[in-house]
Structures are given as structure tokens and as C-alpha cells.
Amino acid sequence: MAPGTITSDPVDNGVDTSTQSTDLRPKLYENVDQDALEKKTSQYLFNYGTKFMKDIICGSKGLYVYTANGHKVLDWTSGQMSCLLGHGHPEVVKTIADHAANLDHLFSGMVSPPVLSLGERLCSLLPAGLDKAFFLSTGGESNEAAMKLAKVYTGKFEIVAVNGSWHGVTAQSLSAQYHYGRKGQGPLMPGMHMLPAPNAYRSIFRRADGSYDWEAELDYGWSLIDQASCGSLAAAIVECVQSSAGIHVLPPGYLRALKAHCERRAMLLIVDEAQTGIGRCGDMVAIAHEEVVPDILTLSKTLGNGLPLSAVVTSGEIERVAVERDYCFYTTHVNDPLPAAVGDKVLEIVVRDNLVENARAMGRLLHEGLARLQSRYECIGDVRGRGLMAGVEIVADRATKAPAQELAHAVAERAYDLGVWANLSSHGSFSGILRIAPPITITKEQVREGLGLLEEAFASTAGVVRLY
């Protein structure tokens, strides 16, 4: 079969669609009291940095989640941008059950077949130079391990990251995170530097014709880092799409230029593909879009389809030097067999069912639909993204790009009430942005369903100006 071929109109992977007559609502928590559970939320749950939603979610299946009150919602964020194949995929469920019963958790120095199979399958799908992998639990943990690896390999300690980044909340990961969560704990890791965010919509770096001059911005950022550095630059870490910052895609050529900057300074390049990896952006990994091979690649979220699984992948040469220098990242759940088996199954399904191609095709349909909405509603200032990853920025005025966070909240709440969940990025570091990242098993019907619900949300929200 030729690459890029879509084998069927929708890819059928057991997902629920709006056109199916059978009720696939999970029965696990079908008789619960929303009000009683809501009271327990405020009584017993610690607020760890987010406002809890009022609705209690009692079921998830395919592309939908179900509330205690029976509300069915199209999940256009794949949980926490993680359920790549949708909720409750039958083959993933079977893999979990089989390994929970027979091969779940081992001593961290033991090796098991699912870990070996995942390592082989993953490395065979990546470009040469990404040949050695180990597996952890979270994205923050994998980035922590990657930065420590870069420091051990280079013998240096300074790390460069990008404004608006989100790499995790462990010590080094948070120190390289210029978005949220840095306050209240005293000094962070020493030697951390920040590049300007590549925000094509809002950057002040402009050419004479008004177009975004990311080259000048990047060079200027590095000039400041060179002045601030103590001469111990170890690595730069970057996302191909800055999701938490509002779905900002690196401009064409940016990643290659960033790698060149690193090479000139004898630094390593780490690419964090927590959300973009395993097909979401229309390539198996987003680095393939520009054929750039980082020194270290980290994966998480999508690799485990919602289970805690992450990966650090690098070269044999970096591993050799790291071993000589006593690199250690030994955790309780390193290379655990059960999550590894799930990751291996996820990769198998993605390749077998042509889901990278499906993400590319459904992504085109999604972005065409969002562009139509932008042409119809004045408050949509920008639509951006790649593949099945999209951001819709809500503004008060297109000319000034003034934020409209209250209006964005109103649209997002209306969309949820109508039956589609698109996460609203509303932190003060940027204006209100709907983040959309549905499972890559999504069908044409489900893309159109979600677009229709979003259209209705914009059309029925007070304060939204129609252009037609």
C-alpha cells in the first residue's frame, strides 16, 4: 500500500460516534449523586494548581466522556492531550488486563519482553541517531532525565529553554519552564536561560512588510544568552508545538536553526514531543516535518494512551559516554512491563491502521473548518496548529489583538454545555485560546460534529459578532 493511503472513510477502532444507535455509555459509575460528589471534591481534594470543573466525570469511551448528570461530551483534548487512540480502546484494555494478571511490575534492573519490544519498535520508527531508549512514567520525568543526561555527557550545566514552554514540574523541568508554576519555592536550578517565544501572531519582531522575523528574534535571544552564560551551556530544550502557550508551531526552519546554534556552542538539542509525538501532527514524530534529528528526544502522554509512560531516546554514543561518567536515573517504575506493553500496542495500532495518515487528513478537515469559523466570527483572531493539534485565539479586536478572556471563557463554557470540550488556555501569559487535540482515531463525522457544536457555541454566545 502506498504511503499516505487512507484505507477507509473513517478508521474504525471501536470508537463511539454520534451516528451510532447503540449506547456505549460506560456503566461503571452510572448511579451516582453529582451533588454529593461535588461536596466531597471541596472537602477532601487538595487544589494542586487548577480549578476543578464542577461536573464529575463518571465514564469515558471512544472520543466521549460522560458526566454524573448524563451529559455526553466530545473530548477534543484526548484527556490531558494523552488518549491518542481514544478512551477504552479495546486492544489497549486487553493489553492492560493481560499484563496486570501476568506481568505487571518488576525490579528495576530486570528486563522483560514488552520493554524490549517497545524499544525495538520505537527506535525502528525514529531516524538514525535515536537508537537507544529507556522508559519512565511522566513527561516531566523524561525531561528531567534528558537534561541530566545532557549535563553528564557535556560536563556542563546551563540549559536554554523557550518562553511559554511547559516541560514538567520536577526541579530541572520546572526550571526550564517559562510559563507557570515557578513561584513560591525559592531558587530554581542555576544556569537556566530563556529564548523569546516563537509567537508568530504576537511577536514584536517584524520585517518591513509586517511578516514575522523569527530569525532576528532567535539570533537576538542567543545574543542575550551568550552574554548571560558563564560558559557552561549544556543543552537547549524545545517543543515543536508550544501547546500550553497556546498551540504555537515552530516557524519553518526554526528547529534547524536552533540545532545549528546548539552545535556552534557544543550543546545538545533536546526535543520534547509529549503532545506532538506518535502521529498527532501528521508525522510519526513532529521532528520529521523538517527532518531534524535532536540529540535527545523525549516522549510521553500519547505514547501511553493516557497511562503513565514516557521515553528518553538518544544515540549509542551519548549512552556510551554517559555510562562511562556514571549517569544514573534509576526509578521505581523505570522500564515497567505493563505500561511498556501498552506503549508497544499503541505503536502497533498507529502503524497498522495508518493513523498518522488519518491524523494528517482529519487535521486538514479540522483546520479548514476552523478557518471557516474565523471568516464568520469577528472574535477569532488567529487559527493555528498542525495536524490534529489546533489553537483558536479569541480577541476583542482583530486590529489591536487585544485579549478577550471573558468572552473566550463564555464561548468555551457554551461549547461544553453543547457537548464538545476544547480546553481553554486562559493564563495571564496569553489571551484566551481554545486548544484542540482529539484522538487520532477521529472520523470525518466526528470532526464535523465538533465543528458544528463550536459553530453553535460562537453563534449563541452573547458578545460574539457575526461577519455574515
Cα angle: 176, vertex 78, 284; to 5 degrees:
70
DSSP string, 122-147: HHHHS-TT--EEEEES-HHHHHHHHH
Q: Count Cβ atoms within 10 A of the Cβ of residue 95 and give its class: 0-12 exposed, 13-18 middle, 19 or more buried.
A: buried
Cα dihedral sign, 119-122-128-129: negative
Give the Cβ contact number of residue 181 at 10 Å: 12
Please tell me the distance from the alpha carbon of residue 417 to that of residue 68, in angstroms, as a whole number.
14
The three-class DSSP label of residue 355 is: helix
Q: Is residue 3 within 8 Å of 354, Cβ to Cβ?
A: no
Q: State the angle between helix axes of 355-376 and 337-352 in degrees (0 to 180), rounded to the nearest 10.
A: 70
Whose cell is 466570527? That residue is: 377
Q: Which of 151, 301, 360, 384 is catalytic?
A: 301
Is 301 noted as a catalytic residue in this protein? yes
Q: Tell me the one-letter amino acid at 269.
A: L
Q: Which of 166, 214, 222, 421 is catalytic?
A: 166
Is 357 noted as a catalytic residue in this protein? no
Q: Which of 151, 259, 414, 435 is catalytic?
A: 435
Please give the grid coordinates belonging to residue 36: 454529593
Is 185 noted as a catalytic residue in this protein? no
Is 435 noted as a catalytic residue in this protein? yes
Q: How far is CA 28 from CA 25, 53, 57, 60, in A?
A: 9, 20, 11, 10
Q: How far is CA 399 from CA 199, 201, 240, 381, in A?
A: 17, 12, 28, 9
Q: Which of 172, 177, 242, 275 is catalytic?
A: 275
Q: Is residue 335 within 8 Å of 309, Cβ to Cβ?
A: no
Q: Is residue 96 within 8 Å of 338, Cβ to Cβ?
A: yes
Beta strands of 222-353 (E only): which ranges?
233-239, 241-242, 248-249, 268-272, 296-299, 310-314
Beta strands of 106-254 (E only): which ranges?
132-136, 158-162, 192-195, 233-239, 241-242, 248-249
Is 166 noted as a catalytic residue in this protein? yes
Is 222 noted as a catalytic residue in this protein? no
Q: Which of 141, 158, 217, 272 is catalytic?
A: 272
Q: What is the DSSP letter of 4?
A: T
For 42, residues 6+ apart whose C-beta sits below 8 A from its C-beta are none
Cα dihedral sign, 214-216-222-224: negative
Q: Which residues does the annotation mark as catalytic?
A: 166, 239, 272, 275, 301, 435
